[in-house]
Amino acid sequence: MLIKRLVPFVIFLNFVVNLQAQLYFPIVGTYQKKSAQGMAIWEDRAYLFNNGGHCRVLNLKTGEVEREFDLDSAGENTHVNAACFGAEVADGGGLPCIYVSEYNRPSRCFVECINDSASSLVQTIQATEKGRPVFVQSWIVDGKGRHLYAVARQSPPKGEKNSAKVRITKYRLPLLSEGSDIVLTEYDRLDTFMAEFASGTQGGVIKDGMMYLPTGLQESARGRFNARRTLQVIDLKKKAIKKQVDLTFLTVNEPEDIDCYQGKLLLYCGQEGGIYEISLK
């Protein structure tokens, strides 16, 4: 009888241990009263952004925040919904430029050169169609393929409140030598397709032809149309969702952005935060 009572407890304990083993670093998301947003990793450092454009640099070997600074493009409109390192190093930079999503209209992509003491804006990219700015939630860089993807949920059909359709548009990645202000039009589109999911769109990363897109909201938003926490794995060649990974029991916080580190996928979360390792098995 005692054994029967212990079995559920052992199963539960094993479940909890497995979840805890996926926490990579217990760092807060909301910082200085600003919500957590994008994250980009270069070598052994994670660049963690908050709404408005503030950045903390986390050493992934020691778990210590080494320094913090404001982006040159920082401001009330700079949401930093996504952050990705690109392929070019600007003059005065020691690492590739970082591409930051403004999110709020006009939804530009800010290209910043980060050095040891500050960050400088070297290029601004904007998408337009028929001369009008296009709303883009997340700009995601394919550094290897030299492409830039724009991700945005489509407006709901007339008479409906929500839309489950997300448009993914592929552009070339502009060179830094092309100038400080770049406008991409409908004639610059290399490809575009729709992915269908309701969960709220966050940041993302591209690796080996796959776009890893964390989506959804924190647990307190349960019941909302876009709340389900899911990692969307999108095959960019086939233009289709290959896999959906349920993040419900990984964290109760909002999944914000994701990047690769030493063969792992690391997810940065909002509210109480945390950086989590995601298994795709």
Average the pLDDT over 219-236 and give the result.
Answer: 97
Confidence tier at 91 by pLDDT (50, 70, 90): confident
Q: What percentage of the chain carries pLDDT values higher than 90?
A: 86
Q: How far apart are CA 171 and CA 174, in angstroms?
A: 9
pTM, two decimals, is: 0.91
Tens digits of residue pLDDT in 113-151: 998 878 999 999 999 999 999 999 999 999 999 999 999
Assess whether pLDDT exceeds 60 at residue 14. no
Which helix or strand (DSSP H or E) is residue 111 part of? strand 109-114
Strands 205-207 and 191-196: unpaired
Assess whether pLDDT exceeds 80 at residue 21. no
Query: Which residue type does 200 have?
Result: G
pLDDT computed for residue 11 by the predictor? 40
The answer to whether residues 124 and 111 touch, using CB atoms and an 8 Å cutoff, is yes
The answer to whether residues 154 and 167 touch, using CB atoms and an 8 Å cutoff, is yes
Whose CA is closest to 47, among 210, 203, 217? 203
Report the mean per-residue pLDDT for the chain.
Answer: 92
Average the pLDDT over 93-108 and give the result.
Answer: 95
pLDDT computed for residue 93 by the predictor? 78
Tens digits of residue pLDDT in 162-196: 999 999 999 999 999 999 999 999 999 999 999 99
pLDDT computed for residue 281 by the predictor? 65
b/e 63-92 (16+ beta carbons within 10 angstroms → b): eeeeeebebbbbeeebbbbbbbbbbbebee
